A = this chain, B = another copy of it.
Amino acid sequence: MASQRRTTIHDVAALAGVSRSAVSKAMNGQEGLAPGTRKKILAAAATLDWSPSPAASTLRGSRSRSVGLVISRGPDLLAADAFFAVLIAGAESVLAPRRYGLQLHLLSTAQSAESETYRQLTRDRRVDGFILTESRIRDARFELLRELGAPFVLIGEPWQDDRVEHILVSDAMAGMRDLAQHLVQAGHRRILYVGGPEDLVHTLRRREAFARALEDAGGPLPRVVSAAFDAKDARRATREALAVPERPTVIVYGNDTMAIAGAGEAQRLGFRVPEDVAVVGYDNLPMGEWVYPTITTVAQDLHAIGAAAAAALLRELGDTSVEIPPVAPSTLVIRESTTLDRA
């Protein structure tokens, strides 16, 4: 494995038959390359056992080349909510070409197990740093990781008192403004917001943003209920909302999973979506386009957020050749669940 001369980006470019900047793009997971070209470059880099940062190569021996993602919503969460799957896909798009792995730990919600996991992974040097998600009100993880000396980045906004350096987030307000206007223009006067669990910061932020945007758009005050971020609870909330005479003309859910399950339940009860009740989600997960009617949603740039989080962490780890891709503000994606007119 010893070689006379260190492999450089020139060698990879030459083997792949492309420019150096193309190699750089491919390794940084940037857009603007044909898929075939990207593949050729990654294959060439793999053949030559080359990765972009000389610093990273030198350090490789003492590094795990692994990034930790500890999710404390129980092992079935990944299957039930594609939110994390998209984030992970985004992170992998930066990590994989640099031969970093993502070390996944799905825990039950016991807090002690969580902090013990962070401690062990750090102590045993099994990961080089962490990507945190879903910040909580007065989140104990930040202090713990500082104590452990473990680099980390946060996806999402921290609570007001928590100070965190690297934060990756799609601003909710932009998409919520467009949504409020969309709903007010369509004449909706009875609006229900079904939000997520109350201890998550983004649940509160999203709800506040929606209420403020509605007010600014001259819309009505929304009625608000809370639900677990799952399909079962969304169905329950939907049944209850549609059982009263003054039922909402539109239901806005805190995520797409709930919106899909809610739209399904409304249809099962004999309501047409959107003619009898319109439905809106949040996140823009792939499955919102599979169902009928397709789901209008506030899109977060989740893939870019995952990629940016991985890139920010790699930079934090000393790999300054990684560029952090930009994260777009949230946008409204209008689909059939607010616009379809079968009449």
Spell out A's residues near B (CB within 8 Å): 35, 38-39, 42-43, 46-47, 49, 60, 64-66, 68, 75-80, 82, 85-86, 88-90, 92-93, 96, 99, 101-110, 112-113, 116-117, 120-121, 124, 126, 231, 257, 260-261, 263-265, 267-268, 285-287, 289-292, 294, 303
Contacts and interface: CB of A to CB of B under 8 A. Distances in A.
Q: Which 9 A-B pairs have the closest CB atoms?
A: A46-B116, A264-B292, A261-B290, A267-B292, A79-B85, A92-B106, A79-B86, A78-B85, A43-B112
SS of A interface (majority): helix
Contacts of A267: 292
Contacts of A64: 64, 126
B92 A96 contact: no
B126 A101 contact: yes
B109 A286 contact: no
Contacts of A107: 96
30 contacts: A43-B112, A46-B113, A47-B112, A47-B116, A49-B116, A65-B124, A66-B66, A66-B126, A68-B101, A75-B90, A75-B92, A76-B89, A76-B303, A78-B89, A79-B88, A80-B286, A88-B104, A96-B105, A99-B117, A102-B103, A231-B286, A257-B290, A260-B291, A264-B290, A264-B291, A264-B292, A264-B294, A265-B292, A268-B292, A287-B287
Q: What is the count of identical protomers in the complex?
A: 2
